[in-house]
Amino acid sequence: MTQVYTALPSLVKAPGGATLPELPFDYTQGCPPVFSAHQLELHYKKHHNAYVTKLNAILGDKEEGETIEAIAAKAKAAGDGPLFNQAAQHFNHAFYFGGMKPNAPDTMPADLEAALTKNFESVDAFKTAFMDKAVGNFGSGWTWLVYDTADAKLKIVNTGNAGMPEGTQRPVLTMDVWEHAYYVDFENRRPDYAAEYFKIVDWEVVAANLARASQ
């Protein structure tokens, strides 16, 4: 059962349809030093927007006011693959882009640093483990830092295709490892993308996600 978790309280299917969320930065300038404007234009305005458009085409006027996470969870429980894929990819991309910041500071809130150190021995060890997990995620999918409410631990997990964190695992940070996320700038070199990714992670957002997840 997919976790019904309101990581983004504003991500609902509003009357009139789901909408592409605004990004927290000007995507027309890319997201330096990792993503070019062309890469982000394709990923956000073409790929993410296509998931939103297809989700609305499937749902019509159904599920108005419902969260995207709940729509994905119900679709998965019902075995509705096409609906799950569009809803989950809308959620996953909103979560991914929402945690992104151009030239993000390397420093992070003390609570987050303490949690990463407690669970992974050091922040650097966490980053290395996360990058290794992303590189090892076969095919298309997502790499996540999750907070597991079952044992109150942070974990790094992979999902395939449109997969979202499940069960007791709540999302804290994600990295899109579909080739469409990085191919313009990094071609087939996912390890290079993974090595650069933390330069655009907004640690303030990650800390806020963790605070919500661990409530």
- Is 93 known to sit in a ligand binding site? yes
Q: For residue 176, state whether it binds Fe ion (rule: CB under 5 A).
A: yes
124 is in an annotated binding site: no
CB of 5 to Fe ion, least distance (A): 20
- Compute the distance between CA of residue 83 and CA of residue 150 in angstroms, rounded to an integer: 28
> Given candidates 35, 95, 147, 178, which one binds Fe ion under the rule CB under 5 A?
178
Rounded Cα–Cα distance for residues 12 and 32 (Å): 29
Can you give 134-198 as a three-state secondary structure string?
HHCCCCCEEEEEEEECCCCEEEEEEEECCCCCECCEEEEEEEECCHHHCHHHHCCCHHHHHHHHH
Q: Least separation, in Å, of the C-beta of 180 and Fe ion? A: 5
Each residue 181-210 as x (binds Fe ion by CB under 5 A) or -, in order, gives x-----------------------------
CB of 215 to Fe ion, least distance (A): 28
Regarding 35 and contact with Fe ion (CB under 5 A), the answer is no
Helix, strand, coil % over all residues of the chain, rounded to 5: 50, 15, 35
Was 180 annotated as part of a binding site?
yes
Q: Does 48 count as an annotated binding residue?
A: no
Binding site for Fe ion (CB under 5 A): 176, 178, 181
